[in-house]
Amino acid sequence: MNFFFEVLIGGLLSGVMYALVALGFVLIYKASGVFNFAQGAMVYLAALSVVGVMEWGAPLWLAVILAFTIMTLFGIATEKFVLRKLVNQPPIALFMATIGLAFFIEGLAPMVFGSEPRALELGIVDEPIPWILDNWNMVISKFDLVAAGVASLLVATLALFFQYTRIGRALRAVADDHQAALSIGIPLQNIWAIVWGVAGFVALVAGMMWGARNGVQFALTFTALKALPVLILGGFTSVPGAIVGGLIIGASEKLAEIYIPPVMQDLFGGNFGGIEGWFPYVLALLFLLVRPEGLFGERHIDRV
């Protein structure tokens, strides 16, 4: 039983890391109604900017500020050169534009900062907390707890921002209907630039946490793969949904990885395992059948 809880808690903490990436998707979707295929690439660009600037001699705090500046400028440039031309176009056009953006970032970022994998030290040790290990014989990492704290703070801030600020409300209006928002005087271009800037900040936080955990390298773009089932579960428009979805996916994939393969082996023989790559997608697919809008997503009703 102790092992079960160890796996469960480990999974929940991993889920927080997925939620960090999923948050970036949610922000863009809320503001523009488009799925940002480039979010994984933005995580990579943000983390690479931090280590790249540090290699030029800057301390961590300065590197983070400069990386944030890079991400903000990138957000503004994306709005000016990509999205502005696509106002009122079907969502698929915006989606296709973000695919192009992803390839652009994946090519440009290593060209500027180099493609070799690098370490990112944030000063948080990724080792088991001794007293938990001694008292309960469970491995809980200090790093994972810090990541959970950071994610909670980020979610709380974003939820308040969307709910209670003028810009937040404007963002939601734009997401509902571009034309209607424009007709009542909401500056669409500014709103998009802001939201891409905020998404860049979220990508920076996610990139730093994932980069410190696994190294800063091209594979950070793959973190997006972990966020997709989280979004399906949590809903594409809900910030708290990203967190809850992340927790469910993280816990279920870890438990599945441990407990399903032995059953499969008993039933069919052979060697099973490595299922956490596809298990969250199956779970998300099943969930779609029951609740297509996700746990916290807005139910879409068309009146005819």
Partner 1 sequence: MFKSFKPMLAAAALSLAVLSQGAVAAEEQFFPIPGYRVGPYGANGQSFYGGFIDYLTYVNLKDKGVNGVTLTYEECETEYNNAKGVECYERLKGKAAKSSGPVHTMSTGISYALIDKSAQDKLPLAMMGYGRTDAVDGSVFPYAFPLVTTYQMQASAIVKFIKEKLGGNLAGKKIVYLYHDSAYGKEAIIAMEAEAALNKFTLVQIPVAHPGNEQGAQWLKIRQEKPDFVVFWGWGVMNQTALKAAQKVGFPRDRMIGSWWTGSEEDVVPAGDAAKGYMAATWNVAGKEVPLIADIEKVVYGAGKGNLQDKSKIGTILYNRGVSAAVLSVEAIRKAQEKYGKGKAMTGEQVRWGLENLNITDARLKQIGATDLLPEIKTSCDNHEGSGKVKIQQWDGAKWVSVSGWIEGNKALIHPLFQASAKQYAKEKGITPRDCSKEK
For partner 1, the closer of residues 117 and 240 by Cβ is: 117
- Nearest approach, Cβ of residue 141 and partner 1 (Å): 5
* Per-residue mark of binding to partner 1, 113-142 (x: CB under 8 A): xxxxxxx-x----xxx----x-----x-x-
Total of chain residues touching partner 1, rule CB under 8 A:
50
Q: Where does the chain have alpha helices with state H? A: 2-32, 39-55, 60-78, 91-113, 130-136, 142-164, 166-176, 178-183, 188-214, 223-234, 239-268, 279-290
For partner 1, the closer of residues 153 and 219 by Cβ is: 219
Amino acid, res. 288: L
First to last CA, the chain: 54
Stretch that binds partner 1, among 93-101, 107-115, 165-173, 285-293 (CB under 8 A): 107-115
Q: Are 238 and 297 a contacting pair, CB within 8 Å?
A: yes
For partner 1, the closer of residues 107 and 149 by Cβ is: 107
Taking CB under 8 A as the criterion, which residues in 5-64 touch partner 1? 6-7, 10-11, 13-14
**Position among 89, 95, 172, 215 found at the interface with partner 1 (CB under 8 A):** 215
Q: What is the DSSP string of 29-75?
A: HHHHS---TTHHHHHHHHHHHHHHHHHTT--HHHHHHHHHHHHHHHH
Q: Are 73 and 204 a contacting pair, CB within 8 Å?
A: no
- The Cβ of residue 62 has, within 10 Å, a number of other Cβ atoms equal to 13
**Position among 39, 49, 223, 238 found at the interface with partner 1 (CB under 8 A):** 223
Question: Rule CB under 8 A: which residues touch partner 1?
Answer: 3, 6-7, 10-11, 13-14, 106-107, 110-119, 121, 126-128, 133, 139, 141, 143, 210, 213-219, 221-223, 226, 253-254, 257-258, 271, 273-278
